Amino acid sequence: MADALIEAHGLTKTYGSFRALKGLDLRVMPSEIYGLLGPNGAGKTTTLRITAGLIEPTAGSVVVSGFDATKDPLHAKARIGYVAEIPILYESLTPRELLDFECSVRALATEPVNRKAHQLAEAFEVTSAFDTPIATLSMGTKQKIAIIAALIHQPPVLLLDEPLNSLDARSSRILKELLSLHVQRGGAVLFSTHVMEIAQRLCSRIGIIFDGRIVAEGDLNQLRARAGAKDATLEEVFMKLTNEASEVENTMRMLRESFFVDEDR
């Protein structure tokens, strides 16, 4: 069995008195798109930020391509492409200046970088924005620039935090195709989303994260079996495994009474 490209053990992160992660474990294998599915505040972004080396865990460890993300961050980061939920970029730079900076720091070779930059810029239709300060670009264009910056060095590991949020249909399709090609070449993707349809269609394995822990993982059939809900959709499985079904029902009852009652009666 091949070694995991991402391996997290007992990942814990506390912010003051709040525990965002409570001993999370996960493994992402080569040629796998692993979907981290969970409600807002479940710990998806924290998991990705620790793996990307942006923050340090309070306890536990993450190993990326054989390198500990905390103890050997340089080697780990060289093998990661990261796209944040809200693009993190130097907004006063232009996309060209940002790529100058990134590719220089990554010590990439000029010719392949220029070829890839051109192809990716054409694919995501951002060539016209190449010399425009990032601060003035739309959210979707910023997201595309962040994606190009994550892909340009062709890392084995991609960490994508809700990457499709601001993308148009064409760019979403291109990104999904690129991710398929990436995993066909043996790469791994750790992908966070709260959109069930995306997780169901795109991911080879799904980890349901809830309250700082992975409460269930596997492909859709394994999750259905775990939830004891044969033929259920991913949304139904998710609701069952996270015990949110009854909460949603209660909330909807309250909303129906508040918003959809004829006040003239």
Partner 1 sequence: MKTADAWRLSAITYSEMAFKSILQNSSNMWWGSFGRGSSEAPGHEDLVKRALRIARFDKFIITAFVIVAAGAPFLPQALGASYGISASVTLSLAVSFALVVLYGVQTLSSFVTSGPSPVLSTLPLMRKDVSLVNLFSFVRTGDYLVVGSVACQVFFVLLVTGSALSGLFMLLAGAMNSVMGVGVALWLSSVFYRSILGSKQGKLGGVMRLALLLAWGVVVLGIGVLFAAAGYLIPLVQSVLASPNTLTGSILSLVYPFSLGISVGSVAHGVALSLVEGVALGATVGYLLVAVAVSRWSMISVSSFPEGSSISTGGGRVHDTSVSLHGPVAAYSLKDLRAASANLPSAFLFTLPAFETLVILLIRAFLPTLGASTILVAMTLGGIVSLILPLVLVSSEGGGFDFAKTLPLRMRTIVFSKALMTTVVFLPAAAVVYGESLLKPLTSPSSILIPLASILAVAAASLLEVRLFLGFAPRGRVTFALQEFARMAAGAGAVLLPAAIYVAVYVLTFNHALAAGVMVVASSAEVLATTEFVRQS
* Interaction site with partner 1 (CB under 8 A): 52-54, 73-75, 77-78, 80, 82, 84, 88-94, 96-108, 110, 113-114, 117-118, 121, 127-133, 135-137, 149
Reading phi first (left if > 0) and then psi (alpha if -120 to 50, else beta), residue 60 is in left
Report, in Å, the least distance between residue 243 CB and partner 1. Answer: 31
Report, in Å, the least distance between residue 105 CB and partner 1. Answer: 5
- CB closer to partner 1, 112 vs 186: 112
Report, in Å, the least distance between residue 90 CB and partner 1. Answer: 4
- CB closer to partner 1, 191 vs 238: 191
Query: 206 φ, ψ to 5°?
Result: -125, 135
Where are the strands (E) in the chain, listed by range?
A: 6-15, 18-28, 32-37, 59-64, 67-68, 80-83, 157-161, 188-193, 205-210, 213-218
- CB closer to partner 1, 100 vs 235: 100
Report, in Å, the least distance between residue 245 CB and partner 1. Answer: 34
Report, in Å, the least distance between residue 175 CB and partner 1. Answer: 18
Give CA separation, 144 vs 31, 86, 125, 192, 240, in Å: 23, 11, 9, 17, 35
Alpha carbon distance 241, 182 (integer Å): 30
CB 96 within 8 A of CB 129: no
- CB closer to partner 1, 135 vs 252: 135
Q: What is the DSSP code (8-state) at residue 3? A: P
Sorted by sequence, the CB contacts under 8 Å of residue 233 that are 6+ apart come out as 196, 200
- CB closer to partner 1, 88 vs 195: 88
